């Protein structure tokens, strides 16, 4: 199963793609769609068109089955929230246009699944990615967070499939989870909160 995580933004939109193959999680790709430049700084509709076109190309190239997007969250700046909502709408529309299964999850859910702490720093989450996939050069935090979105959903699917779980680091997580309700992927590989 191929999962595409997308972290929408009005300037940059991150994407991260992973495969679940048997009991393995494999990194496919990650990157940043730069939708803001000097040519379209004042034209939100051109930025949104760029987002739609580039995300369409990514979907056609990687052919994911599922699109994972962060849920709407409270923002103090109304204009920023509006722009983010527009970008998020384009992402959801693009996923729906290509027939993808769309999953929405909150930032705290994602961070809790990956690190065991819903308010984890980006550095903590990034450390888990480095352990699972080796050193990655993320152009933006949007790219790394989009990979977190994809991994979080993959983790949820793998934990439900006992065959995928066999001889996988997540199997240890399941065993330890029986003792404590909230145990994360990070804790299962020795990166628990201090």
Cross-strand pairs, 2:
19
Q: How far is CA 51 from CA 6, 76, 157, 183, in A?
A: 11, 24, 28, 36
- Using an 8 Å Cβ cutoff, are 42 and 27 in contact? no
Vertex 107 angle, CA 99 and 3, to 5°: 30
Rounded Cα gap, residues 20 and 34, in angstroms = 28
Active-site residue set: 7, 70, 142
CA quadruple 106, 183, 151, 140: dihedral sign: positive
Judged against a pLDDT cut of 70, whether residue 185 lies above it is answered with: no
Nearest CA to 107 out of 189, 8, 17, 31 is that of 8
Rg (CA), the chain: 17
Tokens coding 19: 């495969």
For the domain covering 2-188, report its CATH number. Answer: 3.30.420.10
Rounded Cα gap, residues 183 and 116, in angstroms = 6
Rounded Cα gap, residues 106 and 188, in angstroms = 22
User: 92-106, 149-163, 177-191 — which is least confidently predicted?
Assistant: 177-191
CA atoms within 13 A on the CB side of 61: 13
Nearest CA to 156 out of 177, 138, 136, 140 is that of 177
Cross-strand pairs, 7:
14
pLDDT tens digits, one per residue of 35-60: 887 766 678 898 999 999 999 999 99
Nearest CA to 152 out of 25, 62, 31, 30 is that of 25
**pLDDT tier for residue 24 given thresholds of 50, 70 and 90:** confident
pLDDT tens digits, one per residue of 54-99: 999 999 999 999 999 988 876 678 888 888 899 999 999 999 999 9
């Amino acid at each position: 199963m191929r999962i595409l995580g997308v972290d929408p933004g009005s300037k940059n939109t991150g994407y991260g793609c992973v495969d679940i193959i048997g009991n393995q999680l494999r990194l496919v790709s990650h990157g940043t769609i730069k939708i803001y430049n000097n040519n379209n700084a004042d034209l939100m509709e051109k930025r949104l068109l760029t987002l739609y076109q580039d995300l369409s190309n990514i979907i056609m190239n990687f052919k994911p089955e599922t699109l994972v997007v962060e849920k709407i969250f409270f923002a103090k700046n109304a204009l920023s929230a509006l722009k983010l909502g527009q970008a998020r709408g384009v992402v959801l529309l693009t996923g729906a246009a290509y027939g993808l299964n769309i999953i929405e999850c909150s930032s705290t859910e994602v961070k809790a699944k990956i690190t065991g702490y819903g308010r984890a720093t980006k550095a903590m989450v990034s450390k888990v990615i480095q352990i699972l996939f080796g050193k990655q050069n993320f152009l933006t935090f949007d790219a790394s967070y989009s990979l977190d979105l994809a991994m979080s959903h993959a983790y949820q699917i793998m934990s439900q499939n006992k065959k995928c779980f066999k001889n996988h680091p997540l199997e240890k997580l399941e065993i330890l989870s029986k003792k404590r309700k909230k145990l994360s992927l990070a804790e299962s590989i020795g990166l628990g909160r201090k």
